[in-house]
Chains A and B, each alone.
Chain A
């Protein structure tokens, strides 16, 4: 299991590397990247940091037992786990940020002043828990979208390009799926499939798929009628090559912008799922949901809510800002030729 997961991460990294290399050869992408870096340097760096944390939490290996917990030597632990050593780095119950004594009773802490954002009900370090949420969020938003987009493209482009029967079938499927309110469909799917990471991702994929499919269908319907596609067809270029060379590259900006927007909407809708009790284990949504009632204690326990909410907010905000700039930079109508 651990092996498989590490392999998956490495494959993703390799794929990302290949995509970046291919993009670096193209003038359009080089200019877009340069312009994006000029406009949103902070947001890009922040998203990069999130990716790093997610990556550090995704690669795990067995070995090196923690002092006082011999079983930990047989569990696969990630880089983040090894940095924080959650087995030892904990208290009896709540403690405030940088506190020297426990929240209840005022007994001295085991690690006084070291919990930057305090500890939760079970005495776990809040910074550690919040950082663990990064990987879950990236999984929900990123991995799901990455799986959904090729499927949606396959259906959308073939419907738009080939038209007729294919279009009728895909369009009907889209109409049926999109006529169920998204949240209700999501809930129904998870209720039916069961709780769990894969199930939630599949449910999010099925719900998120429709919007993207509709977009790519509309766009390829439009592109099919352009002169250069007609010219290619007259020259005897095959359908597959036309799609690959003429249709897909002209939809690239749409794909990337939609990727960013789908990402944020998925991460945000996970919090609702967590509230309903069908979210992902260890997500920020769960932390927020658990922290709901802590606000009515006196003194107020705010750090759990604060940690999860601010990490969630910063990630979504940065991706939204990037998406917003991408729209300006990549849209051919507003794009100005870079010098």
Chain B
């Protein structure tokens, strides 16, 4: 078990290094740091301003070999963009935003709370609703109910998420006036009013593919021998479905779900920026619209880091549940 875990973590670390290298190639080698600086200070800025900006943001170093230092010295390799990129990312010392010079690390801490307040209820409600409907559809498989729900799933999957948001804001926010169209308040008692609509929109837009996935899992479980045994012993429908099928299907469901957990922190790009929730998703959208490469880099890195963490957790839960994986 320990060896398995160790191997898994080592591979995860290797992947992180790969992601960092990918980011380096994308953000430093493909995009010229000069372009980033020019976008930040403006085309007509004086050369001194431009050089100063590059110096302040650490873009003034050469890519991976600093010829200003002596041939034998270590600084030849450490005083470079490549080294600095890996160092800042691996030590979580993210520096300042390219757009407004605000410290990125602090803003991450501020944004995680609002993001979590949106994604956590969204995640839980979606899980419960999709599993319940999936179970129901699996029970009524090959009947009219099954077919209607499956077609409904395909229909809801075919609508762009942008449209769900626009329609939700228009119908619930403007026509019915149930909830505010957008905004956020850190105060715990009123915050639900701002979150209700984005959560609703999120659940509706993600529901189709989830129900189909869970239905497939349940239908597969229902064909197994233990279901027939349970029925032969006289167990009722409810008992078979919840007590046997759902319990056994939990392993594939949980492994599907665990991967998503780390992403609860990074929030949702579209929902947050449309509904004015000051989380990490909205921060990313701001970074895109403001050409803020430093923030975007950090976001991509964090996303990858959390994903790899989720993968390791998934493999771990697999290994705990299934002895065959542990021993291989």
Enumerate chain A interface residues (CB-CB to B < 8 A): 172-173, 175-177, 179-181, 183-185, 187-189, 191-193, 264, 268, 271-272, 274-278, 285, 288-289, 292, 295-296, 305, 309, 312-313, 316-317, 320-321, 324
B311 and A188 contact, CB distance less than 8 A: no
10 tightest Cβ-Cβ pairs between the two chains A and B: A176-B18, A317-B158, A316-B158, A271-B160, A181-B303, A179-B304, A271-B162, A180-B304, A179-B307, A192-B26
In the bound assembly, the distance between CA atoms of A271 and B274 in angstroms comes to 14
A312 and B308 contact, CB distance less than 8 A: no
Output the least CB separation between A319 and chain B (Å).
Answer: 8
With a cutoff of 8 Å between Cβ atoms, the chain A residues found around residue B257 in the complex are: none
B289 and A175 contact, CB distance less than 8 A: no
Closest residue on chain B to residue A175 by CB atoms: B15
Partner of B303, one of A184, A192, A320, A321: A184
Enumerate chain B interface residues (CB-CB to A < 8 A): 11, 14-15, 18-19, 22-23, 26-27, 30-31, 154-155, 157-163, 166, 170, 174, 263, 266, 269-270, 284-285, 288-289, 291, 293, 296-297, 299-300, 303-304, 307-308, 311
With a cutoff of 8 Å between Cβ atoms, the chain B residues found around residue A188 in the complex are: 23, 26-27, 296-297, 300
With a cutoff of 8 Å between Cβ atoms, the chain B residues found around residue A173 in the complex are: 18
- Known contacts A172-B14, A276-B285, A313-B159: A181-B307 contact under CB 8 Å: yes
Output the least CB separation between B96 and chain A (Å).
Answer: 18
With a cutoff of 8 Å between Cβ atoms, the chain A residues found around residue B307 in the complex are: 179-181
Q: List 28 A-B contacts (CB under 8 A).
A: A179-B19, A181-B266, A181-B300, A181-B303, A183-B269, A187-B284, A187-B288, A188-B300, A191-B31, A191-B291, A191-B296, A192-B27, A268-B161, A271-B160, A272-B160, A275-B270, A276-B269, A276-B285, A277-B288, A277-B289, A295-B166, A309-B159, A312-B160, A313-B159, A313-B163, A316-B158, A316-B159, A317-B154
Partner of B296, one of A187, A268, A272, A285: A187
With a cutoff of 8 Å between Cβ atoms, the chain B residues found around residue A277 in the complex are: 288-289
- Known contacts A184-B300, A276-B285, A276-B288: A288-B166 contact under CB 8 Å: yes
Closest residue on chain B to residue A319 by CB atoms: B158
Closest residue on chain B to residue A190 by CB atoms: B288
With a cutoff of 8 Å between Cβ atoms, the chain A residues found around residue B285 in the complex are: 276
Output the least CB separation between B255 and chain A (Å).
Answer: 16
Closest residue on chain B to residue A180 by CB atoms: B304
Partner of A272, one of B23, B154, B174, B269: B269
Output the least CB separation between B210 and chain A (Å).
Answer: 15
With a cutoff of 8 Å between Cβ atoms, the chain B residues found around residue A191 in the complex are: 31, 288, 291, 293, 296
B269 and A320 contact, CB distance less than 8 A: no
Partner of B162, one of A177, A289, A295: A289
In the bound assembly, the distance between CA atoms of A316 and B159 in angstroms comes to 8
A189 and B154 contact, CB distance less than 8 A: no
In the bound assembly, the distance between CA atoms of A285 and B293 in angstroms comes to 24
B303 and A313 contact, CB distance less than 8 A: no
In the bound assembly, the distance between CA atoms of A176 and B311 in angstroms comes to 12
Output the least CB separation between B311 and chain A (Å).
Answer: 7
Closest residue on chain B to residue A187 by CB atoms: B288
Output the least CB separation between A190 and chain B (Å).
Answer: 9
With a cutoff of 8 Å between Cβ atoms, the chain B residues found around residue A276 in the complex are: 269, 285, 288-289
Determine which residue in A187, A188, A193, A292 has the highest number of CB atoms from chain B within 10 A of its CB, and name it. A188
Partner of B22, one of A177, A193, A288: A177
In the bound assembly, the distance between CA atoms of A275 and B274 in angstroms comes to 10
Closest residue on chain B to residue A324 by CB atoms: B154
With a cutoff of 8 Å between Cβ atoms, the chain A residues found around residue B162 in the complex are: 271-272, 274-275, 285, 288-289
Closest residue on chain B to residue A289 by CB atoms: B162
B22 and A176 contact, CB distance less than 8 A: yes
With a cutoff of 8 Å between Cβ atoms, the chain B residues found around residue A324 in the complex are: 154
Closest residue on chain A to residue B16 by CB atoms: A179
With a cutoff of 8 Å between Cβ atoms, the chain B residues found around residue A175 in the complex are: 11, 15, 18
B158 and A313 contact, CB distance less than 8 A: yes
Partner of A176, one of B15, B174, B288: B15
15 more contacts with CB within 8 A, not counting A175-B18, A179-B307, A184-B299, are A173-B18, A181-B266, A181-B300, A188-B23, A189-B26, A191-B288, A264-B157, A268-B161, A272-B160, A272-B162, A275-B162, A285-B160, A309-B159, A313-B158, A321-B154
In the bound assembly, the distance between CA atoms of A188 and B25 in angstroms comes to 12
Partner of A320, one of B11, B19, B23, B158: B158
A295 and B30 contact, CB distance less than 8 A: no
B288 and A192 contact, CB distance less than 8 A: no
B158 and A264 contact, CB distance less than 8 A: yes
With a cutoff of 8 Å between Cβ atoms, the chain A residues found around residue B15 in the complex are: 172, 175-176, 179
In the bound assembly, the distance between CA atoms of A255 and B303 in angstroms comes to 29
Output the least CB separation between B160 and chain A (Å).
Answer: 4
Output the least CB separation between B287 and chain A (Å).
Answer: 9
Output the least CB separation between B33 and chain A (Å).
Answer: 12
Output the least CB separation between B230 and chain A (Å).
Answer: 25
Output the least CB separation between B266 and chain A (Å).
Answer: 7
- Known contacts A172-B14, A188-B26, A191-B293: A180-B158 contact under CB 8 Å: no
Partner of A288, one of B14, B160, B297: B160
In the bound assembly, the distance between CA atoms of A293 and B154 in angstroms comes to 28
In the bound assembly, the distance between CA atoms of A163 and B300 in angstroms comes to 30
B155 and A317 contact, CB distance less than 8 A: yes
With a cutoff of 8 Å between Cβ atoms, the chain B residues found around residue A192 in the complex are: 26-27, 30-31
With a cutoff of 8 Å between Cβ atoms, the chain A residues found around residue B308 in the complex are: 179
With a cutoff of 8 Å between Cβ atoms, the chain B residues found around residue A285 in the complex are: 160, 162
With a cutoff of 8 Å between Cβ atoms, the chain A residues found around residue B155 in the complex are: 317
Closest residue on chain A to residue B151 by CB atoms: A321
In the bound assembly, the distance between CA atoms of A289 and B274 in angstroms comes to 12
In the bound assembly, the distance between CA atoms of A172 and B19 in angstroms comes to 10
